[in-house]
Structures are given as structure tokens and as C-alpha cells.
Amino acid sequence: MAAQFILAVLAAVFLLAALWRFSREGFKLGPASRTWFLVALIFGAVSAWLWWSGVRPALQ
């Protein structure tokens, strides 16, 4: 499986974890939820960069 697919899925998983933690903290942005959001942002940015850079996997 290509890296951009894996990173996109991981970004979604980390975003869901951030939203779950954010709701558990009473919808206040605490250190834990901020960290999850940051990790999701990093994974999403790298995945988007791989998509836009033209690196395309050979889907067979």
C-alpha cells in the first residue's frame, strides 16, 4: 500500500482521537487534544504533499 494512503488513514485516525479527547475535556482545547490535532495535521500535510508532488503508486 502506498505511503500517501497510509498517511491519509492515519491522519483521519488521529483526527478522530483528537475529537474524542476534545469532547472528553468538555470541549476545551487541552494539551492532550492539542497534541492529537497537531499529529493529525502533520500526517495530513505529509499525505497531501505526497499527493500533490505527483508521486502516484502503480495500482495493479
Whether residue 60 is predicted with pLDDT greater than 60 in this model: the reply is no
Q: In the prediction, which pLDDT does 29 show? A: 93
The answer to whether 33 touches 18, Cβ cutoff 8 Å, is yes
Amino acid identity for residue 2 in this structure: A
Q: Are 29 and 22 in contact (CB under 8 A)?
A: yes
The pLDDT of 32-50, averaged and rounded, is 95
Q: What is the pTM of this model?
A: 0.80
pLDDT band at 4 (very low <50, low <70, confident <90, very high): confident
Give the pLDDT confidence score for residue 43 in this predicted structure: 96
Count Cβ atoms below 10 Å from residue 41 Cβ, excluding itself.
Answer: 14
**4-33 exposure pattern, b = at least 16 Cβ within 10 A, e = fewer:** beebbebbeebbebbeebbeeeeeeeeeeb
